[in-house]
Amino acid sequence: MTNIQQVAKQAGVSVATVSRVLNGQNTVSSKTRIKVEEAIKNLNYEPSMLGRNLRNSESRILLILIPSISNPFYLEIIKGIEQIALSQNYNILLCETDSNPEKENIYFDLVRKKMADGIISMDPAVNIETLKELAEKYSIIQCSEYNLDSGIPYVTIDNEEASYRAVKHLIQIGHKKIALMNSDEKFLYARQREMGYQRALEEHEIPLNDDYIIYTKHLGFEHGQQAVKKILAIQDRPTAIFAVSDLLAIGALKEINASGLHVPKDIAVIGFDKIDFSNMTNPTLTTIAQPMYKMGTVAAEMLIDKIRGNDVDNVILNYELVLREST
Amino acid sequence: MTNIQQVAKQAGVSVATVSRVLNGQNTVSSKTRIKVEEAIKNLNYEPSMLGRNLRNSESRILLILIPSISNPFYLEIIKGIEQIALSQNYNILLCETDSNPEKENIYFDLVRKKMADGIISMDPAVNIETLKELAEKYSIIQCSEYNLDSGIPYVTIDNEEASYRAVKHLIQIGHKKIALMNSDEKFLYARQREMGYQRALEEHEIPLNDDYIIYTKHLGFEHGQQAVKKILAIQDRPTAIFAVSDLLAIGALKEINASGLHVPKDIAVIGFDKIDFSNMTNPTLTTIAQPMYKMGTVAAEMLIDKIRGNDVDNVILNYELVLREST
DNA sequence: TATGTAAATGTAAACGATTTCATTTTATTC
DNA sequence: GAATAAAATGAAATCGTTTACATTTACATA
C-alpha cells in the first residue's frame, strides 16, 4: 500500500507539499502540483483516512440511533440524513438498539471511543440520563422523539396539534365513537398525541370514554392486530380508530378485514406517519404525513453544525393530513 | 480528552503497560493491573479508536452495498450481518447505491481510503468490472446476487430451483395459465428464475406463452401495479401470477383488488422473498422464503474470514415454500 | 546589484494507540 | 546466597496524515 512518503519521493517534493495538493491548497505552484498529481496517478495512491482522521481527531462518521430498522418510518428520515451527510463528506452508521440498553451502550461507546463524531437519536426508549451526560461532551441531536428539559437540541413535529387534526377529521366526517390506539404513555409523543385526541373530543363535546383508549407496547403490525381485537370486542363498538402509527393502523386494517367488517364503511381508520406502505394496503390508509425526509436533512444539518462548535436551535416542522380510502 | 500517556503517568507505569491492560494481555502483574485500572477509572479514560485503527491499519467497519434501503428484503439480511459484525467488534456502514454508479463509486472509495475493511455487495446492478478489480486488493463478498466468473465469493440460494418450486406449486393446485412477472433479464437471478419457470412448465407439458412473461425495470410496489395491468389486459387472461419479488406481488395484489377481481379465486399470486409485509396484506401472500437472516450471518462470517486472510468457499442456502392465502 | 517582500517549499512535531526488543524485577534451584 | 530462568515492565519505533514554523526561492524595486 503506497503512502504519502512514497508519493513525495517519486515527485521529488516533501510530504507537506503532497498534502497540500491533496487538500487543494492554493499555495502550490502549478508546476509542482502537476508533478505531484502525476506521482499520485503513477503509484495509484489513495490517501488513508486512518492517518488523516487521527491527525484531525475526527472520524467523519455520524451515528444514527433507531429502535428498529424494520419500521419504515425511519427509512425516509435516514435518506434525508444521508443526503446531507454525504454532501458534507460524512458517513452514517445505522444503529438499531431494539430499545435494548445494552445494545444502546455499545453504540454510545463508539462516540466515546471517537469512532463517531456525533449522534442523531431517534429512539424514544433511549436512556435519557445517559444521553444527557453524553451530550455534555459530544454532539447530539434528537430527531422526532425528544425531551424538553434535556437541553439536547431536537427536530420534531407538533404532535399534539397533528393528533388533534387527525381526530377532528374523523369527527368532521361524522364519527363520534372514536378509539385511540396509542403506544406506551412513557413516550412523550404518546402523551402529546393523546392530548390532541382529548382536545378534539372536548372541543366537539364528545365525552371521553376510557374504554376507547388502548395502549400497545410496540409500534408493530402485530401489535395493531392485537389491539384492534380488543377494540372490536367492546360492547358499544367505536366507528373509527385513530392509530398513532401507520404500522398499528395497517395491523388494524388487516384484522378488521379478517373479522368480516369493512373499512371505512363499518369502521374508519386513520394512521400516523405516511410510510410508503400506507399506500399499498387495501384500502389505502388515511394518515398524518410527517415530513420525514426533511426531518432527516434538518437533523443532519443541525448535528454537523453542532460538531463544528456552533449553537443550534430546536426545529418544529409541519405535518399534513393525507386523505385516502380508509376514512 | 485524556489519552494513554496521561493514564500511564497517573498509574506510574509506561504506556506499553497500559496498552497491555487495555488489551487484556496476561503478562501484567495483578498489582499493576489494578493500579492501571484505577487510573483509567479516575481519569474517565476511553481509548481512541483513531489511534488504535491507524496503528493496526484497520477501520473495523464493513461496507454493505444495497440498491435501495426501501426494499425490506435487505433489512433482514442486514440484521444477520449486524449480529455477526457486532459480535466480532465490527460495525457496518449501510450504503444505498440507488443502482447509481456515481454513488457506488463514493462507497468504493471508502474501502480504497481504508475507511472500511471490506464489502458485502447485494446490489445486482453493481459495476462488476470495478468490483472484480477491487476484489484483487480488498476483501469482498457477494450476497444474494452474484457473478459466476468473477471469482468473488458469494452466498445465495438456488434461484432456478426455488422458482421451479413456486411454479410447480401453482400447477399442482390446478393452474395452467401462469404468468411470470420478472425483473430485468440483465440480472442473473432474473434469468435463473425464468429458467425455473420454464422448466416447471415444460415438465408438465404446458406450452410456453411469451405474452405471459412481463419484465419490470425495478422491484418496487408501483412496478408490480403497472405490470399486472398489462397482464390483466391479455386476451386469454392468466389464472395465476408468479412474481419474482414480494413487492411486485403486493403491487399486483393491490391492483387486482382494485380492478374488482379476487385473489386467489380469479387469480392466484405467489411472491418471492417472504418479506415481513407479505404477511400483512389482504389476502396474505404465498411466497418463497429466502433464509435472509442466515444469508446475512453467513455473508458476514465469510467477509470477516476473508479480511483475516483466509480463503472462503461459496455457500448456497435452502429456500422454503410458504403457503398462505393468495394461492 | 543589493535588498525587501511574497510565494513556494521543507522540516519536524504532533495525533493516540500497539508492539518489538531490551532491560529490570521476581521466582526458582542448588 | 549465587546463578539462572521466567515474568514484568519500559523505551522507542511505527502507523499515515496535517500543519506550525522555518527556510528557500522568485520577483519587484531602488
User: Is the domain of B74 the same as that of B26?
Assistant: no
Look at residue A236 and tell me whether its pLDDT is greater than 90.
yes
Residues of B in contact with A48 (CB under 8 A): 113-114
- Rounded-to-10 torsion of CA A182, A184, A186, A192: -10
Closest-approach nucleotide to residue B55, Cα vs C1': D15
Please report which confidence band the pLDDT of residue B282 belongs to, taking 50, 70 and 90 as the band edges: confident
Shortest distance, CA A93 to any CA of chain B (angstroms): 5
**Which residues from 2-31 of A have any strand D atom under 7 Å from their CB?**
3-5, 15-16, 18-20, 22-23
Look at residue A207 and tell me whether its pLDDT is greater than 90.
yes
pLDDT at residue A100, as a whole number: 92
Amino acid sitting at position A136:
E
Shortest distance, CA A234 to any CA of chain B (angstroms): 24
B32 touches strand D (CB under 7 A): yes
Please report which confidence band the pLDDT of residue A84 belongs to, taking 50, 70 and 90 as the band edges: very high
CB distance A115–B91 less than 8 Å?
Answer: yes
- B254 falls within a domain: yes
Total structural domains within chain B? 3
Amino acid sitting at position B202:
E
Give the mutation candidate from A60, A73, A91 for the B interface (greatest B CB count, under 10 A).
Answer: A91
User: Is the domain of B68 the same as that of B29?
Assistant: no
B113 touches strand D (CB under 7 A): no
User: Is the domain of A72 the same as that of A112?
Assistant: yes
Please report which confidence band the pLDDT of residue B99 belongs to, taking 50, 70 and 90 as the band edges: confident
Alpha-carbon distance of B118 to B64, in angstroms, equals 9
pLDDT at residue B303, as a whole number: 98
B30-43 vs B4-11: helix crossing angle, rounded to 10: 120
Alpha-carbon distance of A55 to A47, in angstroms, equals 13
Three cell numbers, residue B133: 478489480
User: Is the domain of A296 the same as that of A280?
Assistant: no
Look at residue A99 and tell me whether its pLDDT is greater than 90.
no
Closest-approach nucleotide to residue A15, Cα vs C1': C10
User: Is the domain of B181 the same as that of B197?
Assistant: yes
Closest-approach nucleotide to residue A1, Cα vs C1': D16
Residue of B nearest to A76 (CA): B70
Please report which confidence band the pLDDT of residue B72 belongs to, taking 50, 70 and 90 as the band edges: confident
User: Is the domain of B123 the same as that of B8?
Assistant: no
- A324 falls within a domain: no
User: Is the domain of B210 the same as that of B121?
Assistant: no
- A220 falls within a domain: yes
> Does residue A207 have a cis bond before it (omega within 30 degrees)?
no
Q: Is A262 on the interface with B (CB under 8 A)?
A: no
Tell me the per-residue pLDDT of A134-187, one tens digit each, with 9 for 90 and over: 999 999 999 999 998 899 999 999 999 999 999 999 999 999 999 999 999 999
Residues of B in contact with A50 (CB under 8 A): 50, 53-54, 57, 59, 114
User: Is the domain of B265 the same as that of B122?
Assistant: no
User: Is the domain of B232 the same as that of B191?
Assistant: yes
- CATH assignment of the domain containing A132: 3.40.50.2300
User: Is the domain of A165 the same as that of A251?
Assistant: yes
A5 touches strand C (CB under 7 A): no
Backbone φ/ψ region at A233: left (φ over 0), alpha (ψ -120 to 50), beta: alpha
- Rounded-to-10 torsion of CA B42, B50, A91, A312: 40
Look at residue B38 and tell me whether its pLDDT is greater than 90.
yes
Number of C-beta neighbours around residue B218 at 10 A: 18
How much is the average pLDDT of B292-315? 97
> Does residue A283 have a cis bond before it (omega within 30 degrees)?
yes
B19 touches strand C (CB under 7 A): yes
Which member of A250, A276, A281 has the closest CB to residue B70?
A: A276
Three cell numbers, residue B259: 380492478
CB distance A254–B282 less than 8 Å?
Answer: yes
Amino acid whose CA is nearest the C1' of D12: B16
Please report which confidence band the pLDDT of residue B26 belongs to, taking 50, 70 and 90 as the band edges: confident
Alpha-carbon distance of B105 to B109, in angstroms, equals 6
CB distance B93–A96 less than 8 Å?
Answer: no
The set of strand D positions with any atom below 7 Å of a protein CB reads 7-20
Closest by Cα among A127, A76, A70 to A295? A76
- A53 falls within a domain: no
Tell me the per-residue pLDDT of B218-263, one tens digit each, with 9 for 90 and over: 999 999 999 999 999 999 999 999 999 999 999 999 999 999 999 9
User: Is the domain of A128 the same as that of A237?
Assistant: no
User: What's chain B's average pLDDT?
Assistant: 95
User: What is the percent of chain B with per-residue pLDDT over 70, rounded to a whole number?
Assistant: 100
Alpha-carbon distance of A238 to A258, in angstroms, equals 17
- CATH assignment of the domain containing B29: 1.10.260.40
Closest-approach nucleotide to residue B31, Cα vs C1': D8
Alpha-carbon distance of A181 to A234, in angstroms, equals 14
pLDDT at residue A46, as a whole number: 97
Please name every residue paired with A240 in a beta bridge, in sequence order, or none if there are none. Answer: A178, A268
Q: How far apart are the first and last CA of chain B?
A: 62
**A7 CA → C21 C1’, Å:** 31
Amino acid whose CA is nearest the C1' of D20: A16
pLDDT at residue A96, as a whole number: 93
How much is the average pLDDT of A211-236? 95
Measured CA to CA in angstroms, residue B19 lies from A227, A229, B6 at distances of 54, 58, 12
B26 touches strand D (CB under 7 A): yes
Closest by Cα among B210, B175, B218, B172 to B194? B210
**B50 CA → C17 C1’, Å:** 8
Residues of A in contact with B75 (CB under 8 A): 69-70
B12 touches strand C (CB under 7 A): no
Residue of B nearest to A256 (CA): B282
Residues of B in contact with A92 (CB under 8 A): 93-94
A111 touches strand C (CB under 7 A): no
How much is the average pLDDT of B311-321? 96
pLDDT at residue A164, as a whole number: 97
How much is the average pLDDT of B148-174? 96
- B52 falls within a domain: no
Give the mutation candidate from A83, A115, A117 for the B interface (greatest B CB count, under 10 A).
Answer: A115
pLDDT at residue A72, as a whole number: 86
**Which residues from 30-49 of A have any strand C atom under 7 Å from their CB?**
31-33
pLDDT at residue B295, as a whole number: 98
User: Is the domain of A143 the same as that of A173?
Assistant: no
Q: Where are the alpha helices (DSSP H) in chain B?
A: 4-11, 15-22, 30-43, 49-56, 72-87, 101-112, 128-137, 159-172, 188-203, 221-232, 246-258, 292-307
Please name every residue paired with A159 in a beta bridge, in sequence order, or none if there are none. Answer: none
pLDDT at residue A32, as a whole number: 95
Task: Give residues 267 to 306 of B whose Cβ lies within 8 Å of A.
Answer: 276-277, 279-282
The residue to which cell 393452474 is assigned: B175
Look at residue B17 and tell me whether its pLDDT is greater than 90.
yes
Amino acid sitting at position A298:
V
Q: For chain A, how many residues are written? A: 327
Strand-pair category, B61-66 with A320-322: unpaired
Find the domain containing A278 and state its range. 159-289
**A75 CA → C16 C1’, Å:** 36
Strands (E), A227-314: 240-243, 268-273, 286-289
- B265 falls within a domain: yes
- A152 falls within a domain: yes
B285 with B248: CB under 8 angstroms?
Answer: no
- B176 falls within a domain: yes
